[in-house]
Structure 1
């Protein structure tokens, strides 16, 4: 059995201090990483012939990565994100280096840790490291990769980040709720294996369409993710602050846990020189100051297109500000991939469609036994049209492989139905 990696001796102490800071005052994180790395024009040799794999720079050009962290700490941010957005199975597998997950994760965290400690010592202001866990390039909900495979890979990712000195784990830019869950569970398993508890932050990405990439509304994301024990939920990437406002308003009214926001510098404008992000530093600072006041944010920062100057002005406006007290009024409910359904209905009862139950419906059972999966899905859709609020799914039948049947049908129902699924076994 391979031995577990070791942690820096003061990991828990730093993590506890960060948790206390997030609970009492506004903490400021950094901004864009990738564009600042690319601006230093690394060579193909720096990339080890893996063009565009920024995470390889953690081992070949730590000086470049270090310089980005230094630029952000120099303008006064409280914490920086590690250069590990792509140290996950799906992204690294595209370069045929999936086995370097732990190595690159640990190296990225170690660089950020060293810079954070230097600034802590020189300024007397505690600086922290957020271990970035990106979404990868495969969507498990659509069958691109299995949940178990990426969950286990995210555990390795998180163990590397913690071993390198991360003070928190940031599951960020998530686009698929099943991928998000795999990241969170992988991070939790890493903490359990290493005997440490650090803040676990989850940041989802809502597109200009008003939903996540696969169509999930912010309410579905909150209902699905908050029960997993995350310490904070928020938004990052895809849009600027203007497009995030209503989603933050929903979170402020319904989330029981602290909130974060790391927007892009506006919506990108395509030019001959590539994408240009138009939001100025004062405009980002104005927006974040408003969000802190109106929505009670605990963690703010920037994403694509934001620079040290953007964050310098955010720091001037909000760092150290007491968190605006919220009084959330969450409504209990269940979520599908697409929407949340409150347990309290306008009608006098909640209707759970029972026709997709192998024990209660002969028609459904026969379709299942004959592997007529499309017919099974159509039966679910019939119940949606007839007004069901949720769908019961039971595949239990003597002599059948219930696990295989449930995987087949639950996966199909998740994308074919907008309703929450009641797994009945």
Structure 2
């Protein structure tokens, strides 16, 4: 497994350096659309990660739908497989189990598609933000760092080709996840790409108030392989942040926006941006800001990703000549 993982990781790094790689879209809404029962959730309603153990068929069907749409990479169903999220369900002792199972499901489906046509598909291990903000004292730093290490250990053991710390809302939480992941990778002896994707509110800052320059200055020295944005907003609200990263980041860029800003209706949140709108926006990001990895987040569907694949399939990321700024950062600026 280790040798195969290394080969896939090397191939992924090569792909990210030479073309646009397309990841998948929303996971949670796709799972919920299949009406899992309370028994499927083991009485832990809403804990999607439990479905890795009880209903791998449902999870695999989501991966299969996105791969059918033509994506290069699928994310594991492990967004909440961390210390704070699973502690709320009183199953924090299952972090490794659910992470490994989630990665193994995605690995099997990705390998199935690769075997069918010879085109490599990759598995991206999802490491979400959890439910507590360490900057505000909600949880001790060491607790979440060690939980993320377990999360990453399970993902690596299950066959993930890269790890993504995503929907990051707090720089201290992000640092804990990156360093926990790095500990797991060091222990495993496998050098996988480590990506960070930040979530910025419509106010223009992260949830705890950090602006994009502070985030880049704090995180880039940790040795991450990519940085970018996902969730919280649609692509329109991400433009200025991506422009900043394109000008100053030394490392490759990624973006996985929501299908627009959600509109609250009597039936719940509705995401207004259609497949062509998402494809238009991300094509522009690739050609203007040199993005190497694109995909979707909340509200995006296989139809969104099919349009995106068709639009960026033959593109190369725009050449960037970043001008890094020497600097120091506080939490905010």
- Alignment counterpart, residue 309 of structure 1, candidates 303, 307, 310: 303
How big is each residue's C-alpha offset from its partner over 1:292-341, in whole Å with a ceiling of 9 and x where there is no partner?
000000000000000000000000010242221100111110000000xx
- Alignment counterpart, residue 27 of structure 2, candidates 33, 39, 52: 33
**How far apart, in 2, do the equivalents of 1:262 and 1:44 lie?**
30
- Alignment counterpart, residue 322 of structure 1, candidates 302, 309, 316: 316
Shift of 1:9: 4.3
Structure 1 residue 216 corresponds to structure 2 residue 201 = no
How big is each residue's C-alpha offset from its partner over 1:75-134, in whole Å with a ceiling of 9 and x where there is no partner?
110000000000000000000000000000000000000000000010211000000000
Aligned residue number for residue 278 of structure 1:
272
Structure 1 residue 68 corresponds to structure 2 residue 62 = yes
The within-5 A match list for 1:93-104 is 93-104=87-98
Deviation >2 Å, runs of 4+: none
Aligned residue number for residue 11 of structure 2:
17
Query: Number of aligned pairs?
Result: 333
**How far apart, in 2, do the equivalents of 1:286 and 1:273 lie?**
28
**How far apart, in 1, do the equivalents of 2:329 and 2:8 lie?**
35
Structure 1 residue 337 corresponds to structure 2 residue 295 = no
Preserved CA contact (<8 Å) 2:76 2:124: yes
Structure 1 residue 148 corresponds to structure 2 residue 145 = no
Aligned residue number for residue 44 of structure 2:
50
**How far apart, in 1, do the equivalents of 2:140 and 2:174 lie?**
13
Preserved CA contact (<8 Å) 1:8 1:164: no
Q: Secondary structure at the match of 1:233?
A: strand
Q: Secondary structure at the match of 1:304?
A: coil
**How far apart, in 2, do the equivalents of 1:145 and 1:179 lie?**
10
Label 1:320 to 1:162 Cα distance change in 2 as closer, same or farther (>3 A).
Answer: farther
Structure 1 residue 240 corresponds to structure 2 residue 204 = no
TM-score if structure 1 supplies the norm length? Answer: 0.78
Q: Which has the higher contact order (CA 8 A, sep 6+)?
A: 2
**How far apart, in 1, do the equivalents of 2:268 and 2:316 lie?**
39
**How far apart, in 2, do the equivalents of 1:320 and 1:181 lie?**
35
**How far apart, in 1, do the equivalents of 2:271 and 2:64 lie?**
23
Q: Secondary structure at the match of 1:181?
A: helix
**How far apart, in 1, do the equivalents of 2:10 and 2:153 lie?**
18
Q: Once superposed, what is the RMSD of the aligned Cα atoms?
A: 0.7
Aligned residue number for residue 165 of structure 2:
171
**How far apart, in 1, do the equivalents of 2:81 and 2:326 lie?**
35
The within-5 A match list for 1:190-205 is 190-205=184-199
Aligned residue number for residue 120 of structure 1:
114
Which segments of 5 or more consecutive residues in structure 1 lack a partner in the other structure?
Answer: 1-6, 340-425
Higher alpha-carbon Rg: 1
